[in-house]
Amino acid sequence: MSRKHKACSVDSISDMYRETIARSSAISACEDASQSSNDVTTNESIELTENFNETFLRNLSLFYLKLQGQLLLPASTIQTIVEEMQNVHELGQDYTLSKLRSLLKNDMCLTDDAIVKICDCVKDTDLFSVCHQGPLRTTYSRAQAFKKMFKYIEPKKIILGTDENMTQRFAYYIPVIQTLKSLLESELWKNSVSQQSCEIDSDVFGDIRDGQNFKSNRFFVENPGCLKLILYQDAFEIVNPLGSAKKRHKVVAVYLSVANLPAHVRSSTDHISLVLLCGENDLKQFGSAKVFSEMLVDLKHLEENGITIGGETIKGALYCIAGDNLGSHSIGGFTENFSRSQYFCRYCEITQSEFQSDDPNVCGPQRTPESYDSAVGDLQAEDCGAIKGIKK
């Protein structure tokens, strides 16, 4: 009555449609239950619609992120793809709506107002158009949508100083602490770590945790469940390596992987995180200590205080820095001239002449932390170019 016959009163009901009080009470109870059920169904429908909208937008975002991050398409190319896909979709949508109008008018004999309402509803609920005319419309809006939807970690700008042209130079650092928090909160971490713990075999050398260096590390022995971090650094050209600008725009990149993950997982580039970017010339001019300063603070905090996830505090430490000869010698302060320097090896103190004249498999006296520190001390005291291949 209240929905379909608002203008009518209860007295206008004919006696033939009236029931007893008991019957009316039963009907009323059924109606209340039905109304409650309708309300629940409506709420569930709204929630389902919102979840579906979010899922649709997320999948589209992942598609465009894949084009950008994995297939390395330029932003202008992705923008062209977005616009052309929307144009083609609108053509197909116009054709579908014209067929729908014809069916509603000729076969179902609906009024023009009803047809317009139905077609507008179909058009307004088209998720593809809603996404492409809204959050995925432009390069900027897509970037903002990606930041809100996914666990985006904002890079920190490290001011290094000015170069010879009085130009401000800087590096970009992606905080290690926040990167590790995102990893620890993921399902990947929970599944992989449980799998890792089941794979340990003390009789087989299967990973770095089986080596003597790892087993003799005091921090890892005292904190068996801690994070074991591996940093990898290398330089790459962002312009033609054969052109006139080679080495001018060369960039040093530092990446992070976690040794707690199984080898087959951490070897995937999807699970290797970018940590730092810096121009190679800036690294040489301002030094590793300044470029890596923010990262060192985070590593120290991780080792001393750890990360709290779900009420549990997990500590971590750097296990090693991987890289090629040039990069490793640069970070370690060793000479970077392998053909002319007298001491060219960072593992032992063999000389160039001994290496050339003798068996190339022979090794000199092994370098130790004590001999390294002694050479650095003599270097600072004597203010000379290099001592036993160590220059800084």
Which three-class secondary structure string do you get for the chain?
CCCCCCCCCHHHCCHHHCCCHHHHHHHHHHHHHHHHHHHHHHHHHHHHHHHHHHHHHHHHHHHHHHHHHCCCCCHHHHHHHHHHHHHHHHHHHHHHHHHHHHHHHHHCCCCHHHHHHHHHHHHHCCHHHHHHCCCCCCHHHHHHHHHHHCCCCCCEEEEEEECCCCCEEEEEECCHHHHHHHHHCCHHHHHHHHHHHHCCCCCCCCCHHHCHHHHCCHHHHHCCCCEEEEEEEEEECCCCCCCCCCCCCCEEEEEEEECCCCHHHHCCHHHCEEEEEEEHHHHHHHCHHHHCHHHHHHHHHHHHCCEEECCEEECEEEEEEEECHHHHHHHHCECCCCCCCCECCCCECCEHHHHHHCCCCCCCCECCHHHHHHHHHHHHHHCCCCECCECC
Instruction: Return all residues near 18 (Cβ < 8 A) that are at least 6 apart.
Output: none
Strands 251-258 and 227-236: antiparallel
Whether residue 179 is predicted with pLDDT greater than 90 in this model: the reply is yes
The model's pLDDT over 199-217, given as tens digits with 9 standing for 90+, comes to 556 677 888 888 888 888 8
The model's pLDDT over 23-80, given as tens digits with 9 standing for 90+, comes to 444 445 545 555 555 555 555 555 556 677 889 999 999 999 999 988 999 999 999 9
Instruction: Tell me what pLDDT residue 22 has.
Output: 42
Average pLDDT in the 244-261 region? 87
Average pLDDT in the 382-386 region? 76
Greatest CA span in the chain, whole angstroms? Answer: 121
Q: How would residue 1 be classed by pLDDT, with cut points 50, 70 and 90?
A: confident
Instruction: Tell me what pLDDT residue 144 has.
Output: 93
Whether residue 353 is predicted with pLDDT greater than 50 in this model: the reply is yes
Q: How would residue 163 be classed by pLDDT, with cut points 50, 70 and 90?
A: confident
From CA 329, how far away is CA 242, in angstroms rounded?
Answer: 25
Give the residue among 174, 193, 175 at the shortest CA–CA distance from 184: 193
Strands 307-309 and 273-279: unpaired
**Assessment of whether the complete model's pTM goes beyond 0.85:** no
Q: How many CB atoms lie within 10 A of CB 219?
A: 14
From CA 67, how far away is CA 73, in angstroms rounded?
Answer: 6
Whether residue 196 is predicted with pLDDT greater than 60 in this model: the reply is no
Instruction: Tell me what pLDDT residue 46 has.
Output: 57
What is the pLDDT of the chain when averaged over all its residues?
85
Instruction: Tell me what pLDDT residue 304 has.
Output: 94
